[in-house]
Each structure stands twice: as C-alpha cells, then as structure tokens.
C-alpha cells in the first residue's frame, strides 16, 4: 500500500507530513519507556524483518497481490511507540533506496501504514488479551484478529485522505468499497504472518513479546479446599536475560530476514498490490508522478547492470535488510542510551538532594 507521488495533492501531503513528524516525535519519546534490555536489542531486527517480509507479495485475487504492512507485528513484538518507529524506518529505506513509495507521499505512508495500523492493531490486541483466557493461544489469536482488522483500517484511512486531497475526480464510494474489499483479503495474509511470527517467538521466549508481558496466569495451589494464587517464584541469580539469549534470537531473526529477502523474494507474486490494482481500475493513478529516486541503482528492488533477475533482486533484498537493521538499530540504540543517561542524571540529582 505504498502511496506514490501524485496521488495526493501538495497541501494535503504537507499536512500528512506534519502529522507524521508529530507522530514520530511522540513515538521517539514514548519508545524510551519501551526500549528496555529486552526490546532495545531486537527493535532494529524487527524493522529489518518487516522490510524482508514486505518483499514477499502473495496473491489474493485474480491479478492482485498483497504484502505485509507490519504495524500490528511491530507493535505487538516491541511496543506501539517503537512499532511506529520501526515502520517509519522501513518506509524511509524503501523510499530513498528502492523508489518504493513517493518521497512527497512519505508522510501519507507513515500515517497510513505506520500510525493507523499500529494504533488500531495494538488497541484491539490489548483489549482482546484482557478479556480472553491468559494463555499463549489467546495471545496468538489476538494478534491474528488485530492484524486482520488493521489492514482494511489503513485502506479506509487512505480513502479518507484521498477524499480530501486526491488529484483525480473519481467516485469515492467505489474507491472505498474496492480498497476495503481487497485489503480485507490482504488482511488475512497479514494476520497469518503476524500470528505465526508472534506464536513462534512466544514458543521460544514469551518474555520478548512486548504485548504479552504480564499476561501469564499465576500458579494455583489448593489450600483448605480452595484455590489460591501461589507466590511467584524468585528468579535464580544468573546472567542478565538480554545478555543470556537475545543474541541467539537476534541472529536467528537476521538469518531468516536475509533468506526471505535474498532468496524467497524471487518467488513473490508479480501482480500489482491492492492499492496499485484499485488505482488502475478506478483511475486514481492518472496523475501519478515519477519517483524522485527512480534512477537509484536499487530502484524497483534490483541492482542496476545485473541482468540476472534472481541475483539482482536477491542482492538488493540483502542490501535492504542490512541497511534497515543498521539504521534501525542505530536509532534505537541512541534512544536507549539517551534514556539511560537521563536516568543516571536523575539519580545523581536525587542523591545530591539527599
């Protein structure tokens, strides 16, 4: 659902850009609370993994494909504020390096694909896990539903933005019906990918799923014929959790992302995605503009001057994963260091006061 340049007029694109900047600024502040010793090392990896999976377009209807948006997955794994930043990093890399998603439409894309999907998915996810039985299955099921709903919600948000700032005169009712209809189908694929990924992480390290922390049911003991909550077990003295095992999870996740982007992406559907199909059918794309980075050596997820499609696309995917994990990890590492520095300064001031 990467909106290209020319779909939305300049004033509305500018407003969306301001809204996106505001959302990123709020997320930068909120992410400091989320980037603890578990989340911080994995946030850049989550961004890279989403970049890789977005290269895997899957067929959803005749002549139409879809791909992961990733807002639900990022929010559930690393938190909503960090999730917005993850999607923003992915969209920035795609727009600058691969000419995917217009640069003047970057604010629209961050708002629709990042903010809307994260807010809708995480709110629904948290609501579901609170009312469902506390179990890994309920967390996975909640992730499925949240991801499913987030995609048509993003499609509806795009239609609303287009209603205000669209550059062509088309029947908005038909656009809304077509966008939501096809993205419900895409949402099923999004939900399956999100649930499988969240379920896999929960099976190995449930404490690494931000949205599932504190949801484990307490152990019950029968005392005097009544069931009572047992006292929580004390964690044994050992190496810090992050140092003990997040490296293995990080390494496994990075290898998976590289394989998906470097090899599996060759077999992705070549059909236009949901937005491209609706735009062509409804005439939204009549004023589409050439991407400012169309001459990039990595444009369209291929490497210039390499004629072999498998090698060209695979290398481009590997470069994209590498760039995303480096930029994302740098952003989140900086935020974590700043949070730690602020806490140290607060501790020093508190000691001085005493």
pLDDT for res 222:
54
What is the CATH classification number for the domain harbouring 150?
Answer: 1.10.1760.20
pLDDT in tens, 292-323: 999 999 999 999 889 999 999 999 999 999 99
Q: Which domain holds residue 193?
A: 10-216+246-353
Contact between 146 and 72 under an 8 Å Cβ cutoff? The reply is yes
On the question of pLDDT at 242 being above 90, the answer is no
What are the structure tokens assigned to 336, written together?
């974590």
Asked if the structure places residue 285 within a domain, the reply is yes
Q: Is residue 227 part of a domain?
A: no
The model's confidence at residue 221, banded by pLDDT at 50, 70 and 90, is very low
235 CB burial (10 A radius; 0-12, 13-18, 19+): exposed
Asked if residue 58 has pLDDT above 60, the reply is yes
**What does the pLDDT read at residue 219?**
41
Cα 234 to Cα 12, 168, 173, 205, 208: the distances in Å are: 55, 63, 58, 18, 19
Strands 220-223 and 226-229: antiparallel
- Provide mean pLDDT across the span 222-239: 49
8 A C-beta contact, residue 95 and residue 8:
no
- Please list the residues that pair with 166 across neighbouring strands: 8
174 pLDDT above the threshold of 70: yes
Q: Could you give the count of Cα atoms lying within 13 Å of 29 in the half-sphere of its Cβ?
A: 5
Task: State residue 243's pLDDT score.
Answer: 42
Give how many domains the chain has, as a whole number.
1
3-state secondary structure 127-181: HHHHHCCCCHHHHHHHHHHHHHHHHHHHHHHHHHHHHHHECCCCCHHHHHHHHHH
Contact 118, 153 (CB under 8 A): no
Instruction: Give the pLDDT confidence score for residue 236 in this predicted structure.
Output: 41
In this predicted structure, what is the pLDDT of residue 344?
74
Give the pLDDT score at 193.
98
Query: Do 325 and 44 form a contact (C-beta atoms < 8 A)?
Result: yes
Phi-psi region of 256 (alpha: psi -120 to 50; beta: other; left: phi over 0): alpha
Alpha carbon 135 to chain centroid, angstroms: 24
What average pLDDT does this structure show over 210-220? 65
CA distances from 209 to 38, 124, 156, 215, 261 (A): 9, 16, 28, 11, 23
pLDDT in tens, 134-150: 888 999 999 999 999 99
Q: Within a domain: residue 261?
A: yes
Mean pLDDT of 202-210: 90
Instruction: List the structure tokens of 101.
Output: 């998603």
Higher pLDDT, 105 or 226: 105
Asked if the structure places residue 48 within a domain, the reply is yes
- Indicate whether 231 belongs to any domain: no
Give phi and psi for 103, each to the nearest 5: -75, -40
Give the model's pLDDT for residue 11.
97
**E strands within 167-283?**
220-223, 226-229
CA distance 48 to 313: 16
240 pLDDT higher than 70: no
Q: Which of 44-53, 105-114, 244-253 is the least confident region?
A: 244-253
Give Cβ neighbours of residue 300 (< 8 Å, ≥ 6 apart).
98, 99, 100
Phi and psi at residue 263, to the nearest 5°: -130, -55
Question: What residues contact 185, with CB distance under 8 A and at least 6 apart?
Answer: 60, 61, 66, 274
């Amino acid at each position: 659902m990467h909106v290209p340049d020319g779909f939305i007029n300049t004033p509305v694109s500018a407003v969306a850009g301001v809204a996106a900047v505001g959302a990123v600024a709020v997320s930068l502040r909120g992410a400091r609370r989320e980037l603890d010793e578990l989340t911080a090392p994995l946030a850049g990896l989550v961004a890279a993994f989403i970049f890789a999976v977005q290269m895997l377009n899957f067929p959803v209807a005749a002549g139409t494909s879809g791909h992961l948006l990733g807002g639900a997955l990022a929010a559930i794994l690393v938190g909503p504020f960090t999730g917005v930043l993850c999607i923003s990093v992915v969209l920035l890399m795609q727009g600058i390096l691969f000419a995917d998603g217009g640069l003047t439409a970057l604010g629209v894309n961050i708002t629709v694909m990042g903010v809307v999907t994260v807010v809708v998915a995480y709110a629904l996810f948290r609501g579901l896990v609170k009312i469902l039985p506390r179990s890994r299955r309920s967390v996975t099921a909640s992730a499925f539903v949240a991801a499913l709903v987030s995609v048509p919600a993003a499609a509806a948000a795009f239609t609303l933005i287009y209603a205000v700032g669209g550059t062509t005169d088309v029947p908005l009712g038909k656009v809304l019906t077509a966008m939501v209809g096809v993205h419900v189908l895409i949402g099923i694929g999004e939900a399956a990918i999100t649930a499988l990924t969240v379920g896999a992480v929960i099976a190995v390290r449930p404490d690494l799923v931000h949205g599932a922390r504190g949801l484990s049911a307490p152990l019950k003991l029968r005392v005097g014929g009544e069931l009572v909550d047992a006292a929580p077990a004390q964690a044994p003295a050992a190496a810090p959790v992050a140092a003990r095992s997040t490296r293995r999870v990080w390494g496994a996740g990075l290898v998976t992302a590289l394989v998906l982007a470097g090899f599996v992406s060759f077999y992705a559907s070549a059909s236009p995605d949901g937005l491209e199909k609706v735009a062509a059918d409804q005439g939204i794309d009549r004023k589409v503009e050439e991407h400012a980075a169309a001459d990039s050596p990595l444009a369209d997820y291929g490497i210039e001057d390499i004629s072999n499609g498998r090698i060209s696309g695979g290398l481009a995917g590997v470069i994209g994963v590498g760039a995303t994990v480096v930029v994302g990890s740098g952003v989140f590492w900086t935020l974590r260091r700043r949070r730690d520095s602020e806490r140290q300064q607060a501790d020093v001031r508190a000691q001085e006061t005493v």
